[in-house]
């Protein structure tokens, strides 16, 4: 059996993506070696669902510029080059730096004619590890006030080591940069959605993205029975994507979730069995 890297994603938040990720990881870990990666670094919660006590592995640092005002000639070129608007230049004054805005691109260093800018760094997030019986766990978390969440995701993925049968990556909601960073390199994407207008709209967006990234994708329809009419199946047909699982609304799942227990559900168990068969093919 080869290592299968699976992203659990979905354009819309609140569809149950993290519940699917953690419960699928739990079922797969009964017979396989599994690593669950919580790449929703703005709001990581898989460790809460699994009652995992996280241990800090490392800090994630970002490059920021540092000025030597003895060399600075107040030309303003660093401010002109900064597309993040992190540098304010007032005529005949030294540059004013807003570190919270900086994305670490380094353009200011390149354009400074006097080499008055050098590299410094700031801590923007942390990487954590944990364990739940046979399930290995990695998690990233962006520090409050920081903006570049994809930097944490990239650092998180660099910590993936060891031989696993399955690596499950729980992405953030949406289709922005940190989601793209989490999807990159995956063998399969599971798009979790729900039969609501917003669920339909955002499913279409995530399927557009995975198509552009050339990642095979399958759909999981969560809370499948909360609406009598839905366009989800038509969207799946439009993209030629299989709906691999339909999971009805369940009060039992809600109760298990609120208690921090691993979700036990026959539909998710069947989904795990399908994933195992796919990896053996």
CA distances from 16 to 189, 198, 270 (A): 15, 14, 17
Residue with tokens 């004054």: 93
Output the pLDDT for position 114.
Answer: 96
Asked whether the beta carbons of 177 and 154 are under 8 A apart, the reply is: no
Q: Looking at residue 90, which CATH number applies to its domain?
A: 3.30.70.20
The values of phi and psi at residue 58, to 5°, are -165, 165
Q: Are residues 36 and 85 in the same domain?
A: no
Task: Output the average pLDDT for the chain.
Answer: 93
Asked whether the beta carbons of 125 and 80 are under 8 A apart, the reply is: no
Compute the average pLDDT of residues 21-32.
Answer: 94
Q: Are residues 111 and 238 in the same domain?
A: no
Confidence of residue 128 (pLDDT cuts 50, 70, 90): very high
Q: Which of 24-28, 32-36, 62-66, 222-226 has the lowest mean pLDDT?
A: 222-226
Q: Are residues 217 and 184 in the same domain?
A: yes
Asked whether the beta carbons of 227 and 195 are under 8 A apart, the reply is: yes
Exposure of 111 by Cβ count < 10 A (0-12 exposed, 13-18 middle, 19+ buried)?
middle
Confidence of residue 1 (pLDDT cuts 50, 70, 90): low
Q: Which of 115, 134, 150 is the last residue of a domain?
A: 115
Q: Are residues 140 and 46 in the same domain?
A: yes
Q: Are residues 170 and 51 in the same domain?
A: yes
Per-residue pLDDT tens over the stretch 87-99: 999 999 999 999 9
Q: Are residues 102 and 129 in the same domain?
A: no
Compute the average pLDDT of residues 170-174.
Answer: 95
The values of phi and psi at residue 60, to 5°, are -105, 125
Q: Are residues 85 and 214 in the same domain?
A: no
Instruction: Reply yes or no on whether the pLDDT at 58 is more than 70.
Output: yes
Q: Residues 177-212, buried b or exposed e (16+ Cβ, 10 A)?
A: ebbbbbbeebbbbbbbbbbbeebbebbbebbebbee
Compute the average pLDDT of residues 249-274.
Answer: 86
Compute the average pLDDT of residues 8-18.
Answer: 89
Q: Are residues 17 and 39 in the same domain?
A: yes
Q: Are residues 23 and 159 in the same domain?
A: yes
Output the pLDDT for position 252.
Answer: 86
Q: Looking at residue 225, which CATH number applies to its domain?
A: 3.40.50.300
Q: Are residues 36 and 144 in the same domain?
A: yes
Per-residue pLDDT tens over the stretch 131-154: 988 899 999 999 998 888 999 999
Distance CA 58, CA 155 (A): 10
Domain enclosing residue 143, as ranges: 4-60+124-280
**Number of structural domains in the chain:** 2
Q: Are residues 95 and 24 in the same domain?
A: no
Reduced to 3 states, what is the DSSP secondary structure of residue 225?
A: coil
Instruction: Reply yes or no on whether the pLDDT at 260 is more than 80.
Output: no
Asked whether the beta carbons of 89 and 79 are under 8 A apart, the reply is: yes
Compute the average pLDDT of residues 64-82.
Answer: 97
């Amino acid at each position: 059996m080869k290592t299968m890297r699976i992203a659990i994603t979905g354009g819309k938040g609140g569809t149950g993506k993290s519940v699917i990720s953690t419960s699928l990881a739990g079922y797969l870990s009964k017979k396989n070696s599994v690593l669950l990666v919580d790449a929703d670094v703005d709001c990581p919660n898989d460790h809460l669902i699994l009652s995992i006590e996280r241990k800090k592995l490392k800090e994630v640092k970002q490059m920021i510029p540092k000025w030597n005002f003895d060399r600075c000639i107040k030309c303003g070129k660093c401010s002109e080059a900064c597309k993040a608007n992190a540098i304010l230049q007032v005529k005949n004054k030294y540059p004013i730096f807003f570190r919270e805005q900086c994305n670490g691109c380094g353009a200011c260093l390149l354009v400074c004619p006097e080499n008055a800018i050098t590299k410094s760094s700031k801590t923007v997030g942390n990487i954590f590890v944990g364990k739940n019986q046979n399930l290995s766990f990695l998690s990233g978390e962006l520090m409050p006030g920081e903006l570049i969440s994809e930097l944490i995701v990239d650092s998180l993925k660099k910590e993936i080591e060891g031989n696993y049968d399955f690596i499950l990556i729980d992405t953030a909601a949406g289709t922005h940069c940190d989601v793209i960073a989490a999807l990159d390199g995956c063998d399969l994407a599971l798009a979790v959605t729900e039969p609501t207008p917003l669920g339909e709209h955002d499913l279409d967006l995530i399927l557009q993205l995975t198509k552009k990234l050339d990642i095979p994708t399958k759909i999981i329809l969560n809370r499948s029975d909360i609406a009598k009419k839905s366009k989800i199946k038509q969207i799946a047909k439009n993209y030629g994507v299989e709906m691999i699982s339909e999971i009805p609304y369940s009060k039992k799942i809600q109760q298990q979730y609120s208690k921090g227990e691993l979700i036990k559900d026959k539909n998710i168990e069947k989904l795990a069995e399908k994933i195992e068969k796919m990896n053996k093919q």
